[in-house]
Amino acid sequence: MTPCPIAIMLDGRRRVYAPGEMLSGEYRWDADPGSQVKAVEVSVLWYTEGKGDEDFGVHFFDRLSVEEGDEVGPRQCARFSTQLPKSPLSYEGVIVKIRWCVRVRLFLKRGKVFTRERTFQLGNVPPARPLVAPTRRSVRLKVRPEVDEFG
């Protein structure tokens, strides 16, 4: 299996960002010298994991393509920058999780596709904790004799 020839570096090497903050960085690819690169895509997106249908949303997208006249060689680097949205915030739930990442996809002319992701956290929502079932304790109930309503 060929190792993924993509690297993603976030400026400041940060992992947590506030809503509305700028996210920027650099991505590089280093394909085999004989490879012909067809296109490179960078996106900033969120996705869900967990029970139920998985969902995702693309916040930022850019594509460099030979077909569009861009110079895309086997070894190159490029930058990206976007202002992050107010939501959805990253969330580490028990049933569902919301994750944010920068994703770079490298398309070679022979049909091979490489993908690399760099996750980051948007916002500072504390992780959810699973509900703990109460322990079974013996409970003593005081039983009072029934009192007649007439005294």
Write out pLDDT tens, residues 119-140: 999 999 988 887 776 666 655 5
CATH of the domain at 55: 2.60.40.640
Domain that holds residue 79: 6-122
Is the residue at 151 inside a domain?
no
Task: Count CB atoms within 10 A of the CB of residue 55.
Answer: 12
Lowest-confidence segment of 33-42, 59-68, 85-94 by average pLDDT: 33-42
In this prediction the pTM is 0.81
Kindly tell me if the per-residue pLDDT of 116 is higher than 60: yes
Is the residue at 11 inside a domain?
yes
pLDDT in tens, 34-57: 789 999 999 999 999 998 889 999
| Alpha-carbon distance values, 125 to 2, 14, 16, 114 (Å) | 37, 17, 11, 32
Cis, peptide link before residue 88, omega less than 30° from 0:
yes
More confident residue, 141 or 117: 117
Q: Give the total number of structural domains in the chain.
A: 1
Is the residue at 56 inside a domain?
yes
